[in-house]
Amino acid sequence: MKQMAFITNSVSKKLYRTAKALPIVDYHCHLSPKEIYEDHPFSNIGEIWLSGDHYKWRLMRTAGIDEAYITGKETSYKEKFLKYAEALEFAAGHPLYHWSHMELAKYFGIHTPLNKASAEAIWDEANAHIAKTGMSPRKLIAQSNVAIICTTDDIIDDLSWHERIAADTTITTRVLPSFRTDNVMLMRREGYVDYIQKLSAVSGVEVVDLRTLKQAIANRLDFFVDHGCRCSDVGIPTFPNRIADDTESNEVFRSILAGKLISDDEYGGLIGNLYVYVNGLYKEKNMISQWHLAVVRNANSILAEQLGADCGVDCVGNTVDGNALIRMLDAINVRSGLPKVVIYSLNEANIAQIACITAAFPNVRAGAAWWFCDHKRGIEDEIKTISENASLGSFYGMLTDSRSFLSYARHDYFRQILCNLIGEWVQRGEYDGASAKRLVTKICYMNIKEDLV
């Protein structure tokens, strides 16, 4: 892949030189704090790329690759890598085609296109580089100039790996936990009562009703904040279309603990009540509250049962009801004032509406193009939509949302696309060139860095 493949004019090149030098703040990712701390060197590029990257697994499935070469335990990483190369060769326009080649260039110095014919040679060259450099999680983080990493952590996590990281003075990147509330809100899933028992044990509060549930959540948040937590996150498939009062919510929650079935309407009202409550806590703690909307989890039930969650069978969900989103933001604002809220939608049809809604409330932003939207067109569309309906100068910019230590190339991908777009505006006289460098710096680094302080 050509360097700066997404830069098309001289103004954009100058802006990109500014952006490229900025540190990375990865304010939402799924990197393992355990892997960061232990820092074991990688054995081969197949391990780095294919051990847990469901983006690549999806591409391989759609290319007709047998599952044995995707997640099968009987096949080697080399066999999987060679099959991935076959799938990638014809993935024109797919973000993985861009990302994979950017990663090969950035981290391995390999500029040869990856395909079936070149795969063997690239496998050997990449693995020789891994062995020579002792490539490991911390080395990749340092090479990528990452200043802050916010991992994704369940609220019952003991954060022991974060404690080890914080005590290790050789780790200069700030690695912070994030408060992920999915499991406490997925109340109709199998094993929920067992989860609540674990929450009771770690919070020091016996959860028997809504009041004690909220106290347990508050206790855990205090624990997370004491460990440096600055962000929260929720990504459940359901967005509440109403907000039940405490009396109704308590009755519904007690029914759940008793093993009784509840209706969709009852569940939605209870979740709405908790949304208002937890965001009040986030406001009090001056945290960033991230909402991931319009997703369907585990669409292929057979694969999900065989492989577990995050196996590459999640999908774009229906658009979220904009009126429900407005009611929720307004209710939080009335009760406690809004924390810093970032709203992401997996369904592109929601993006303009969400960007418009954010402009009606303080501290609320539209998020980066997320997951199935973080391709070239999706990123461009997200930037344009935010600029048209909200304020591009308040945008937090890119995040990886990834489990891969090579995925920091995606920040470069975003920065090239952003700088090219702004540069085009400047060239056409649609934006002031004197402000463009400061705008790029705000989006790529300063906005999120300042709000994580």
Which pLDDT score is estimated for 79? 98
Same-domain status, 32 and 111: no
Tell me: do 276 and 196 sit in the same domain: yes
Backbone phi and psi for residue 71, each to the nearest 5 degrees, phi listed first: -120, 0
Tell me how far apart the alpha carbons of residues 71 and 311 are, in angstroms, rounded to a whole number.
9
pLDDT of the residue at 62? 97
Please check whether residue 390 is in contact with residue 356, taking contact to mean a CB–CB distance below 8 angstroms. yes
Percent of the chain having pLDDT more than 90? 98
Contact 391, 437 (CB under 8 A): no
Decide if 149 contacts 26 (C-beta within 8 A): yes
Residue 103 and residue 149 in one domain:
no
> At residue 2, does pLDDT exceed 70?
no
Collect all residues with Cβ–Cβ distance below 8 Å to 48 and sequence separation of at least 6. Answer: 42, 130, 135, 404, 405, 406
Contacts of 413 (CB under 8 A, 6+ apart): 6, 95, 98, 99, 102, 376, 379, 398
Query: 171 in a domain, yes or no?
Result: yes
Sign of CA dihedral 338, 344, 350, 352: positive
What values do phi and psi take at 299, rounded to 5? Answer: -60, -40
Q: Residues 58, 189: one domain?
A: no
Instruction: Residue 85: give its domain's CATH number.
Output: 1.10.2020.10
CA dist 420 and 439 (Å) reads 13
- Are 97 and 149 part of one and the same domain? no
Does residue 352 lie in a domain region?
yes
120 in the same domain as 159: no
| Residue at 393 is within a domain | yes
CB count within 10 Å of CB 286 equals 12
Report the percentage of the chain scoring pLDDT > 70. 99
**Residue 453: predicted pLDDT:** 80
Show which of 108, 135, 162 is a domain's final residue: 135
Q: Name the residue range of residue 74's domain.
A: 43-135
Same-domain pairing of 271 and 334:
yes
Cα dist from 52 to 26, 72, 99, 310, whole Å: 19, 12, 16, 9
- Name the E strands within 208-256: 231-234
User: For residue range 180-214, what is the model confidence (pLDDT) as tens digits?
Assistant: 999 999 999 999 999 999 999 999 999 999 999 99
Q: Which amino acid is at 106?
A: K
Sequence length of the chain is 453
The yes-or-no verdict on residue 389 having pLDDT over 80 is yes
**Are residues 98 and 205 both part of a single domain?**
no
Running DSSP on this structure, what letter comes out for residue 445? I
Q: What is the CA radius of gyration of the chain?
A: 22
Strand partners, 343: 291, 366
Task: State both tokens at 32.
Answer: 């393992």
Number of structural domains found in the chain? 2
Q: Tell me the CA distances in angstroms from 71 to 53, 60, 65, 318, 364, one per residue in order.
A: 10, 10, 11, 29, 39
Is 240 in the same domain as 112?
no
Considering the domain architecture, whether residues 307 and 381 belong to the same structural domain is answered as: yes
Task: Give tens-digit pLDDT for 137-167.
Answer: 999 999 999 999 999 999 999 999 999 999 9
Structure tokens at 379: 């990123």
State the average pLDDT over residues 382-390: 97
- CB neighbours of 310 closer than 8 A, spacing ≥ 6? 30, 52, 54
Q: Would 200 be classed as within a structural domain?
A: yes
Q: What does the pLDDT look like over 51-101, one tens digit per residue?
A: 989 999 999 999 999 999 999 999 999 999 999 999 999 999 999 999 999
Any idea what DSSP says for residue 392?
A: G
- Cβ burial of 182 (10 Å; 0-12, 13-18, 19+) is middle
Is position 201 within any domain? yes
Does residue 140 fall inside a structural domain? no
Taking only the tens place, the pLDDT of each residue in 283-308 is: 999 999 999 999 999 999 999 999 99
Residue 3 lies in a domain: no
Last residue of a domain, one of 135, 165, 184: 135
Say what the pTM is.
Answer: 0.96
* Residue 22, φ and ψ in degrees, nearest 5: -75, 145
Pairing of strands 178-180, 315-316: unpaired
Contacts of 428 (CB under 8 A, 6+ apart): none
380, β-bridge pairs: none
Asked whether residue 5 is domain-assigned, the answer is no
Amino acid at 388: E
The pLDDT score that the predictor gives to residue 4 is: 54
Q: How far apart are CA 422 and CA 420, in angstroms?
A: 6
What is the rounded average pLDDT of the residues 248-255?
98
Dump pLDDT digits (tens) for 208-227: 999 999 999 999 999 999 99
User: Are 358 and 391 in the same domain?
Assistant: yes
Q: Are 316 and 346 in contact (CB under 8 A)?
A: yes
Q: Is the CA virtual torsion 41, 46, 50, 56 positive or negative?
A: positive
Domain containing residue 36: CATH number: 3.20.20.140
**Other Cβ atoms within 10 Å of 121 Cβ, number:** 12
What is the structure's pLDDT at 340?
A: 98
State the chain's mean pLDDT as an integer.
97
From the list 9, 2, 32, 209, the residue with the least C-alpha distance to 111 is: 2
Do 268 and 291 lie in one domain? The reply is yes
Q: Name 85's Cβ contacts closer than 8 Å, sequence gap at least 6.
A: 114, 115, 116, 118, 119, 122
Residue written as tokens 């997925």?
186
Last residue of a domain, one of 112, 135, 158: 135
Which of these, 155, 285, 280, 277, lies nearest to 214 by C-alpha position? 277
Cβ atoms of 445 and 26 within 8 Å: the answer is no
Q: What is the band of 420 on the pLDDT scale with cuts at 50, 70, 90?
A: very high
**DSSP code per residue over 264-332:** HHHHHHHHHHHHHHHHHHHHHTT-EEEEEESEE---SHHHHHHH-SSSS--EE-PPP-HHHHHHHHHHH
pLDDT value at residue 270: 98
